[in-house]
C-alpha cells in the first residue's frame, strides 16, 4: 500500500512550509483536494476534513473580510486532527490567526507561488498517480515510434531478445521481465520498471546487460503509456492464425482493454520487424486508416462487380 505524507509534497513541489511543522508527516489518504469556499461562510456540516485543503484568492479574500471572531472560528474548524495540510496559492500572505490555529492543531500550512488552478492540477495529478490501482505483469515494455508496446509470452519465447533487437533499431526500453502497471485514468495504463531492474535486460546465455550503458540514455525511458499488447507464442500447426487482421482481440488489465495481437514464433521470423510494423499499423488505425478493412471492402466490391456482370 502506497503511503503519501504531506512532507512528500514539500519534496516534489515548490512549496514553502509556513506553519504546523509538527504535522509534516501527516498521511494523505485520498487524491481528492478540497477548496473550502462554503466552509469560509461557516457551513462545516459536510466538511471533507480528511482531504488536502487548497485556499485560493477567492477563499482568502472572503476570509479577510470576516470579523476577528469569525476568522478564529473558521481557522480552528479548518484545522482538524486528520486534515493533512492546507495549501495557500499565489504566494499570498497568510493571516496570523490562521497560522496560530495551524500550529496549535499541528496542521501544516504550505505556500505555493503558482496560480490556484495550476496548483490544483499538479497536486491532483501527483496524488492520483500515487493512489492509482497498480499491478505487475511478466513481460517487456518498449517504446516503438511513440507507441507503448507490451510484449507478453511464456518464459523463454524470446521477449528479451526481441526487445534487444528493437533497442538496436533505435527504439527505447522501458521494462524487462517485470512491468509495473498503474491505471492513470479510466482508459489509460502506464508501465514502468521495478527500481532494481531499471534499464536492465536479461539475455539467456549472456546474462544481465545494462541497456543505458551500452546504447546510451536515448535507448531507455522510465515510464510509458501502454497502447497495444503483443503476445508471442510458439508456432502451433493445429491453430488457425489471423492472416488478414480483421480479428480484433483484446487484453484486459484492471479496467482497461488493450488491443492485442498474437504473433507465432518459429525460426526465420524476424519478430522485431513484425512488432515494429504492428506499432506503425496501430498508429495508422489511430489516424483512421485500417488496411485490413480497406482490403475487405475492395474484395467485396470486386465480388459484387463480377456477380453483376454474370447477371
Which residues, in sequence order, are bridge partners of residue 276? none
The pLDDT of residue 116 is 96
pLDDT in tens, 220-249: 999 999 999 999 999 887 887 777 666 778
Domain assignment of residue 308, yes or no = no
Parallel, antiparallel, or unpaired: how do β-strands 256-265 and 223-234 relate? parallel
Domain-terminating residue out of 101, 131, 161: 131
Q: Region 1-6: what's the mean pLDDT? A: 82
Residues 107 and 156 in one domain: no
Are 82 and 182 found together in one domain?
A: no
Q: How confident is the model at residue 82 (pLDDT cuts 50, 70, 90)?
A: very high
Q: Is the pLDDT of residue 1 over 60?
A: no
Q: What are the tens digits of pLDDT across the range 246-259?
A: 677 899 999 899 99
Could you tell me which residues come within 8 angstroms of residue 195 by beta carbon, excluding any fewer than 6 positions away?
none
**Per-residue pLDDT for 295 more than 90?**
no
Please give the pLDDT value at position 49: 95
Would you mind telling me the total number of residues written for the chain in this entry?
A: 311
The CA-atom distances, in angstroms, between 249 and each of 11, 239, 252, 256, 266 are: 43, 16, 10, 13, 22
138 and 126 in a single domain? The answer is no
Q: Are residues 79 and 175 in the same domain?
A: no
Q: Can you give the pLDDT at residue 311?
A: 62
Distances from the Cα of 87 to the Cα of 8, 24, 28, 58, 97, angstroms: 13, 13, 13, 14, 16
Is the pLDDT at 216 greater than 60, yes or no? yes
Of the candidates 177, 146, 163, the residue with the CA atom closest to the CA atom of residue 214: 163
Q: Which domain holds residue 118?
A: 4-131
Q: Which secondary structure element, helix H or strand E, spans residue 34, and what is its range?
A: strand 33-34
Quote the number of domains for the chain: 2
Share of the chain above pLDDT 70, in %: 98
Within-domain flag for 180 = yes
Average pLDDT rounded to a whole number, residues 152-172: 93
* pLDDT of amino acid 108: 97
- Indicate the average pLDDT of the chain: 91
In sequence order, what DSSP letters do the residues of 182-246 get, joined into one string? Answer: EEEETTEEEEE--GGGTTEEEETTTEEEEHHHHH-GGGB-SEEEEEEEEEEEE--TTS---SSS-
Residues 153 and 235 placed together within one structural domain of the fold: yes
Asked whether the CA dihedral 220, 226, 228, 229 is positive or negative, the reply is positive
Find the helix or strand (DSSP H, E) in which 249 lies: strand 249-253
Q: Which pTM was predicted? A: 0.73
Tell me the H-state helices in 83-204.
96-105, 116-131, 159-168
Q: What's the pLDDT tens digit per position in 114-143?
A: 999 999 999 999 998 888 888 999 999 999
Res 310: pLDDT: 66
Residue 300 lies in a domain: no
- Average pLDDT, integer, range 198-208: 90
**33 and 115 belong to one structural domain:** yes
Do 183 and 102 share a structural domain?
no
Same domain, 126 and 145: no
Q: What sign has the CA pseudo-torsion 260, 261, 262, 268?
A: negative
Q: Which of 37, 39, 34, 25 is nearest to 52 (CA)?
A: 34
191 part of a folded domain: yes
Could you give the CA distance from residue 293 to residue 245 in angstroms, rounded to a whole number? 8
Query: Which residue ranges make up the annotated binding site for Mg(2+)?
Result: 160, 202
Residue 114 and residue 136 in contact, taking contact as beta carbons nearer than 8 Å: no
pLDDT at 157 over 80: yes
Binding site per annotation, positions for ATP: 153-160
- Residue 179 and residue 231 in one domain: yes
Q: Which residues are catalytic?
A: 138, 159, 177, 243
pLDDT at 186: 79
- Looking at residue 73, its pLDDT comes to 96
Higher per-residue confidence, 95 vs 296: 95
Residues contributing to the annotated binding site = 153-160, 202
For the record, the C-alpha cell of 43 comes out as 457551513
Q: Is residue 33 part of a domain?
A: yes
What pLDDT score does 271 carry? Answer: 92
Amino acid at each position: 500500500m502506497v503511503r503519501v505524507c504531506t512532507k512528500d509534497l514539500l519534496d516534489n513541489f515548490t512549496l514553502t512550509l509556513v506553519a504546523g511543522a509538527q504535522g509534516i508527516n501527516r498521511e494523505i489518504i485520498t487524491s481528492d483536494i478540497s477548496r473550502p469556499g462554503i466552509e469560509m461562510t461557516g457551513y462545516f456540516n459536510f466538511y471533507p476534513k480528511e482531504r488536502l485543503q487548497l485556499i485560493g484568492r477567492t477563499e482568502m479574500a472572503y476570509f479577510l473580510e470576516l470579523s476577528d471572531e469569525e476568522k478564529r472560528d473558521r481557522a480552528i474548524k479548518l484545522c482538524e486532527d486528520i486534515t493533512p495540510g492546507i495549501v495557500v496559492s499565489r504566494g499570498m500572505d497568510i493571516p496570523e490567526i490562521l497560522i496560530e490555529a495551524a500550529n496549535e492543531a499541528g496542521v501544516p500550512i504550505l505556500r505555493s507561488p503558482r496560480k490556484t488552478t495550476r496548483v490544483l492540477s499538479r497536486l491532483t495529478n501527483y496524488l492520483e498517480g500515487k493512489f492509482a490501482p497498480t499491478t505487475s505483469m511478466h513481460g517487456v515494455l518498449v517504446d516503438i515510434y511513440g507507441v507503448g508496446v507490451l510484449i507478453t509470452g511464456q518464459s523463454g519465447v524470446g521477449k528479451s531478445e526481441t526487445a534487444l533487437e528493437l533497442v538496436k533499431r533505435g527504439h527505447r526500453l522501458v521494462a524487462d521481465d517485470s512491468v509495473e502497471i498503474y491505471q492513470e485514468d479510466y482508459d489509460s495504463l502506464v508501465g514502468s520498471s521495478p527500481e532494481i531492474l531499471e534499464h536492465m535486460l536479461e539475455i539467456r546465455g549472456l546474462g544481465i546487460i545494462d541497456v543505458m550503458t551500452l546504447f546510451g540514455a536515448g535507448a531507455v525511458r522510465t515510464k510509458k503509456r501502454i497502447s497495444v499488447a503483443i503476445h508471442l507464442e510458439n508456432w502451433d500447426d493445429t491453430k488457425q492464425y489471423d492472416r488478414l487482421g480483421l480479428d480484433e482481440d483484446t487484453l484486459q488489465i484492471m479496467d482497461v482493454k488493450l488491443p492485442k495481437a498474437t504473433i507465432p514464433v518459429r525460426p526465420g521470423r524476424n519478430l522485431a520487424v513484425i512488432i515494429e510494423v504492428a506499432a506503425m499499423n496501430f498508429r495508422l488505425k489511430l489516424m483512421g486508416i485500417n488496411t485490413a478493412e480497406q482490403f475487405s471492402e475492395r474484395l467485396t466490391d470486386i465480388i459484387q462487380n463480377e456477380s453483376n456482370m454474370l447477371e
